[in-house]
Amino acid sequence: MLHAAIAGAMLLSSLPQLLRPAKVSNAVRRRLFERRLATTDLESYEPLVHLGTEYGGWYVPGDLITAEWLCYSVGAGNDVSFDMELIARYGARVRAFDPFVIFREMAEARAGGEPRYSFHEVAITASDGPVQMFGRQDTEQGAVSAVNLYGVRTSFTKPGRSLLSLMAEFGDDRVDLLKMDVEGSEYELVPTLDLDRMGVRVLCLELHHNESVGRARALLHMLRQRGFAPVHRKHPTSFTFVRG
């Protein structure tokens, strides 16, 4: 029995080492994905301005945004500096969406009751209905993903809503700027969006390494075909598109 206990303890202590190759492989895959996407051709556009912090900010066309613009920030995350600066600099209205309850609490505290800002605790999906999210709703996890981007075992269910359904509920006839950081769901979600019908003029989109570089490039090509030219790349998989 003693030998069995010792063997069990040794196995438990070695689990981090046993799991490490998968983590290394994921990190290597991400770096290769980023390196290959860094060669994406961009269209020239001026002026571009950076809104928000280095971590949470995006480059956007500085000559287009006005106080009449409505912006949807999908995947608000723990840094809403981009949302806040859209309001502070241009007077735009911002609706933020994220299924992570703590991000809602953080965002609403940062907004301080700003009337042009609202936060909605839902996951954005292709159609309305419940969706399984992977991750923990605590400050240590930091993000959740419908495609289990982080390879975790914990999950929970959240309401899923389509953007057109939400626009109808809010009475929004257009979305001038759409920012999407949906933790790997972009490959399934973006092709279903009728961006013309939504009235999107600027699209900010982060691509993740859960799919191949080929699929990422196919998504970029599809957006070009729909009239959205990539004008900036940051980090290096966060793209800003402007509709021509």
Residue 30 lies in a domain: no
What digits encode the pLDDT tens for the residues 9-66?
A: 444 344 444 444 455 577 888 899 999 999 999 999 999 999 999 999 999 999 999 9
Q: Which residues contact 1 (CB under 8 A, 6 or more apart)?
A: none
| Residue 145 per-residue DSSP state | B
Using the structure block, give the residue that is written with the tokens 């970029």.
Answer: 220
Residue 108 lies in a domain: yes
Domain count, the chain: 1
Using the structure block, give the residue that is written with the tokens 């030219």.
Answer: 229
Residue 143 lies in a domain: yes
- Torsion sign across C-alpha atoms 18, 149, 214, 76: negative
Residue 3 lies in a domain: no
What digits encode the pLDDT tens for the residues 102-155?
A: 899 999 999 999 999 999 999 999 999 999 988 876 665 567 888 887 788 888
Q: Which residues of 114-144 are buried (b: 16+ CB within 10 A; e: fewer)?
A: eebbebbbbbbbbeeeebebbbbeeeeeebb
Give me the domain span that covers residue 43: 38-243
Tell me, what's the pLDDT at 11? 40
What rounded mean pLDDT belongs to the chain?
88
Tell me, what's the pLDDT at 140? 55
The CATH number that applies at residue 50 is 3.40.50.150
Structure tokens at 180: 């999407």
Residue 164 lies in a domain: yes
Q: Which residues contact 192 (CB under 8 A, 6 or more apart)?
A: 126
Residue 29 lies in a domain: no
